[in-house]
Amino acid sequence: MRGDFDPKAPVIIGCDHGGVRLKKSIEKYLDEQGIAYQDIGTDTEEVVRYPYYAKEVAERILSGEFQRGILICSTGVGMSMMANRYPGIRASLVENCYAARTAREHTDANVLCLGGKILGDFLALEILDEWLNARFIGGRHNISLDLIEEFEKK
């Protein structure tokens, strides 16, 4: 369903080696906000492959186990490309607060992708806060989401 995220609902987090540092800051923030999470990412900077983490996050959202997820790699690009291969996943690569808010308000993004080597912690946490607390506004934006779903079926 669209727009039904509870801002306090648990989050699944996946990261590769490029996202470990930022993931730790995000987990601390989520702890402070009282938001439960499951970390399925790596915990070291030893090279691993991001598609495995994006796949697991996408599949666990589509199964209904989680409503939303966060994916972090060096740039966020690879994670967003992989996650968006799954029909029903609307992963948004975000680098500013406006994009974070509109990713939820306009496209009902269920996965936030971040660049661990692009964003500083302070900005990343502001982005996360915007994304977690924004609500899908529906209306004219449903037209585009309906088109995406139609194209996904083909």
Domains and CATH numbers, the chain: 11-152 (3.40.1400.10)
Whether the pLDDT of residue 3 is over 80: the answer is no
**Rounded Cα gap, residues 75 and 56, in angstroms:** 19
Q: Of the residues 15, 17, 106, 113, which is catalytic?
A: 106
Whether the pLDDT of residue 154 is over 70: the answer is yes
Tell me the pTM: 0.95
Is 17 a catalytic site residue? Answer: no
108 near 67, Cβ under 8 Å? no
Burial of 43 (0-12, 13-18, 19+ CB in 10 A): exposed
Neighbouring CB atoms inside 10 A of 37's CB total 17
Q: Of the residues 17, 73, 113, 141, which is catalytic?
A: 73
Predicted confidence band of residue 1 (pLDDT cuts 50, 70, 90): low
Higher-scoring residue by pLDDT: 139, 36: 36
Is 141 a catalytic site residue? Answer: no
Give pLDDT, residue 77.
98
Whether the pLDDT of residue 82 is over 90: the answer is yes
